[in-house]
Chains A and B, each alone.
Chain A
Amino acid sequence: MSLLRILLWILLAIPAALMVRALASGETLAMDLYHPTGELALRLMLLAMMIGPLLDIFRSNRFLRGWLAIRRNLGVAAFAYVALHLVIYVIDMRSLAAMLDEISLPSIWTGWLSFALMLAAASISNDWAIRRLGRTWKQIQQGAYAAFLLGAIHWWLLDRDPVPPLIHLAPLLVLWSLRWLFIRHRRKNLKEYAV
């Protein structure tokens, strides 16, 4: 592993370290960490998902290639924060019975389902699985998009406010729209050249 990648992992781990320390020292309640862990997970997922359309829209450059090179790290880190989010939940709920009791609420099962999809994607985020799984690999990875959407819905239902989750979805929607416009524009140009 290169030095840069080690530095990247240290950087990605810093928020988690601060959160765990605050929790261990009794400075914060477990319930106070729902937002920091969940929001950071969504933001990391967003970063991992934005690079695809960006590369389709813009000419490839060093910055975008560097971003692409760390996409897997961003995705795995997002899963790590989702897992931490779940650990916080277990600490906050204290009992399995209490967790099962509310699993049928839409605001809660959306979170569980999102976690399951992320777990599947993260567990095959390695070279060996890519070679082994072929086309299935990509399908499982694409589950992360559903996980992202479910995570946003989970947030919306819990806080009864759609605005913050929508703000997190917006960049991706914008980039996808731009990519669509761009590809359409390029096709039109190609047609004109052909005539």
Chain B
Amino acid sequence: MAPISIKELPRKKYVLPGNPSCPGCPETLGLRYIGMALGDRVILVVPAGCTAVIEGLAPGCSISLPVINVPFASADAVAAGIAAAKEVLGEDAVVVVWAGDGATADIGFATLSGAAERGDNIIHICVDNEAYMNTGIQRSSLTPYGAWTTTTWTGKKERKKELPLIMLMHKIPYVATASVGYPTDFIEKLRRAASIKGFKYIHLHAPCPTGWRFDPSQTVEIAKLAVETGMWILFEAINGKVRISPFSIPYKDRSKRKPVKEYIKLQGRFRALSDEELKKIESMIDDAWNTLLKFT
């Protein structure tokens, strides 16, 4: 696939302005990119989470795609059913689950894993804002080590679950990570995923100003810093073969990475982080890279 140029992307708005998301919301960015990447082919399955609010109040809806809201732990199964119906009826559709870290890694994990193992023909996007934001910033298994949440007042003591690798070990045809700070990369990955039959998993890093305690104007800057410090690694795995994505390639080299402190210091959730904890995060970054590169 040729590299994507923003100029060539469709101008149709799939997320309407004036929707009730917080200022600087990363989810509206991600949803827009889905529209740009796949347009009218999408049927969106949305479990409980911020997007249920972003849609706005019925009978209106701020997302101009078919949107089926579903209970928390059911999304991939509902999507599998829709995909089966479309196949039976011979209708073209890309069924996309748009789920947060809770609906993906925690309450929805069995459903996700089940659909992945069965190879249901859907794309699961984990829009990862690293805590339960819709209920008011409680920790999830994807909250990073050291982060404050309303259920971890002195910082989370456990590590972030390595969900993309767990999905890689499901031996599904497509696994990728993406970031709201890199729209062309995400759009390219969405299009590639849609061209593959079977279960596709994309883990979208989504810095949340409300929950991470940073200025709403800095969403994209922080998303980029996550990649530039090596905290978030963009990669893609087709049939299990891992390839580091272009925007992350420079950071294979440890010395090219920005100091993680640049990423941490902009976020209120890490305000109470000690030097010792910071060191631990640095070693976790090295660890994550070393593990991932073994699969390349």
Does A associate with B in a complex?
no
